[in-house]
């Protein structure tokens, strides 16, 4: 019988409790000194909840623990995703080159409020508000990948469709567009928009991600409404790369894409 492996969330919870007890603090004292709710802190320690990464940053500072809790959180966040996604996320976390196409706003560029609206919609995240918040925290936490050192080289192609389905709340959509505009100007990120004028294409209902590691190895990940598929076979990865290149050639240039985003933003400003 194999040894049972604890979840990343359970390990993080035990680490939180160890640091608190080592500091000689009760949950009540910790709550008073950090401003976080006592029951919330208790559930983090028991592994029942996944916090936002900023909570771990605060507690790392409080305990003078370096980045111990943040590093454990990065492992624990994988528990919030389906098993089929975990291998991809592990590779995404170490990729030096990323190429992405998405029909909608990609998770790596979503604001917290926009992500919450997407994940709260019908047929998205079952299980109520608490699980939605865990998914939001995990999704937003992924975004550190774009700013980690060394920064990966990232190209994102977004279908124009993404810009024609605004969020329900005007402020949420304006903030989302502003965030996309800002990200498009980061030195390691290239954003392109695939316009409707490009016509029909074979990725209209699915996203495509290509990842290259430092050793040159590459994978492709496709994801539709119901399933994702990770491909490491070189011929298949090459096929997906050529498919991506065709989408890139049909897209607006980076400068025209930024102008497009600014134009949509002006349309939606109050």
Q: How confident is the model at residue 2 (pLDDT cuts 50, 70, 90)?
A: very low
| Res. 130: pLDDT tops 80 | no
* Lowest mean pLDDT, pick from 73-77, 78-82, 245-249, 258-262: 78-82
Q: Are residues 118 and 69 in the same domain?
A: no
- In the structure encoding, which two tokens stand for residue 114, read together? 């926009």
Q: Which residue has the tokens 């998205």?
A: 124
Q: What is the pTM of this model?
A: 0.70
Indicate if 15 and 95 belong to the same structural domain: no
Quick one: 101 and 41 in the same domain? no
Contact 22, 65 (CB under 8 A): no
In terms of domains, do 19 and 142 share one? no
Picking from 244, 256, 261, 251, the residue whose alpha carbon sits closest to that of residue 98 is: 244
pLDDT, mean over the chain? 88
| pLDDT of amino acid 142 | 84
The answer, yes or no, to whether residue 77 has pLDDT greater than 80, is no
Using alpha carbons, select from 87, 77, 92, 83 the residue that is nearest to residue 139: 77
Q: What confidence tens digit (pLDDT) does each residue in 106-129 have?
A: 999 999 999 999 888 654 445 567
- In this structure, the answer to whether residues 256 and 144 fall within a common structural domain is yes
Looking up residue 26, the CATH number of its domain turns out to be 1.10.260.40
Q: Are residues 61 and 88 in the same domain?
A: no
Domain count, the chain: 2
Judgement on whether residues 244 and 225 belong to the same structural domain of the protein: yes
Residue ranges making up the domain that contains 165: 82-268
> What's the pLDDT band for 84 if we cut at 50, 70, 90?
low
What is the three-class DSSP state of 185?
coil
Cβ distance 203 to 243 under 8 Å?
Answer: yes
């Amino acid at each position: 019988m194999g040894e049972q492996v604890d979840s990343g969330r359970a390990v993080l919870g035990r680490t939180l409790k160890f640091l608190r007890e080592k500091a000689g603090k009760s949950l009540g004292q910790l709550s008073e000194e950090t401003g976080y709710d006592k029951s919330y802190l208790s559930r983090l320690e028991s592994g029942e909840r996944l916090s936002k990464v900023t909570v771990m940053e605060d507690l790392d500072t409080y305990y003078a623990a370096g980045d111990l809790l943040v590093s454990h959180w990065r492992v624990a966040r994988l528990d919030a995703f389906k098993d089929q996604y975990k291998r991809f996320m592990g590779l995404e976390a170490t990729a030096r080159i990323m190429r992405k196409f998405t029909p909608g706003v990609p998770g790596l560029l979503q604001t917290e409020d926009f992500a919450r609206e997407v994940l709260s919609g019908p047929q998205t995240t079952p299980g109520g508000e608490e699980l939605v918040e865990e998914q939001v925290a995990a999704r937003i936490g992924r975004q550190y990948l774009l700013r980690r050192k060394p920064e990966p080289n990232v190209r994102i192609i977004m279908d124009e469709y993404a810009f024609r389905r605004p969020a329900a709340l005007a402020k949420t959509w304006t903030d989302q567009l502003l965030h996309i505009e800002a990200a498009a100007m980061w030195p390691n990120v290239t954003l392109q928009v695939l316009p409707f004028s490009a016509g029909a294409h074979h990725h209209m209902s699915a996203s495509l991600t290509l990842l290259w590691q430092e050793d040159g190895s590459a994978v492709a990940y496709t994801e539709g409404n119901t399933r994702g598929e990770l491909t490491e076979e070189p011929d298949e990865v090459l096929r997906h790369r050529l498919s991506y290149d065709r989408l890139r050639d049909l897209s607006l240039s980076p400068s025209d894409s930024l102008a497009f985003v600014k134009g949509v933003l002006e349309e939606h400003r109050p």
